[in-house]
Amino acid sequence: MNAARMLHLLALGCGALAVTGCHHNMYNQPKLLPDQQNLYFPKEQVDRQPVPHTVARGAFNDGSTFYTGLANGTLATTFPVPVTAELVSRGREMFDINCSACHGRDGYGDGMIVQRGFPQPPSFHSDRLRSAPVGHFFDVITEGYGVMYPFGSRINPGDRWAIVSYIRALQFSQHAPAAQLDDEDRAQLEKAK
């Protein structure tokens, strides 16, 4: 047998094997999709109902202010959790990880990626954002805003509230009334001027 004929038979054999792998049943598999009827289960449903008294895995979202940032349908003006030093410290950690790349470590919107050409976010120290309710920040972290993508799937609600508490601490740090400072802090402030 000559080499050309052998090569021709080999190519024909490989083609026959390839065609057998493209059977129509591989594309249209015999399976039931969630919205189809299934005569084998009660109520003819494909999706089975959970066993009674099943406990959901993960946190239970009850639609409260803690999970939505809303109070009576409007943006919350107060925190749904106590603001403690530990919460603000956790907020600083989460802010540094998730937010400072754009917003900067001090919240002025001059983060590292902004310095490399990304659009600048607004400063947290603007009058508009200092007077914004805390629910606004929670909502923006959750749903995103402008070119900021949503962090709702990346940051749990407790950490979102921690970040909001840290944003409020940043805002206060830059706009604290001098009358609220003690003598030592006022002296340091005067020295810095």
Answer yes or no: is pLDDT of 162 > 90: yes
pTM value? 0.68
Instruction: Taking residues 143-157, report their average pLDDT.
Output: 94
Beta strands in 12-151 (DSSP E): 70-71, 74-75
Given a cut of 70, whether residue 110 has pLDDT beyond it is yes
Q: How many CB atoms lie within 10 A of CB 99?
A: 23
Q: What is the mean pLDDT of residues 111-135?
A: 95
Confidence of residue 46 (pLDDT cuts 50, 70, 90): confident
Give 68-99 pLDDT, tens digit per residue: 999 999 999 999 999 999 999 999 999 999 99
- In the chain, count H helices and then E strands: 10, 2
What 3-state DSSP class applies to 81?
coil
Domains and CATH numbers, the chain: 82-188 (1.10.760.10)
**Tell me, what's the pLDDT at 5?**
81
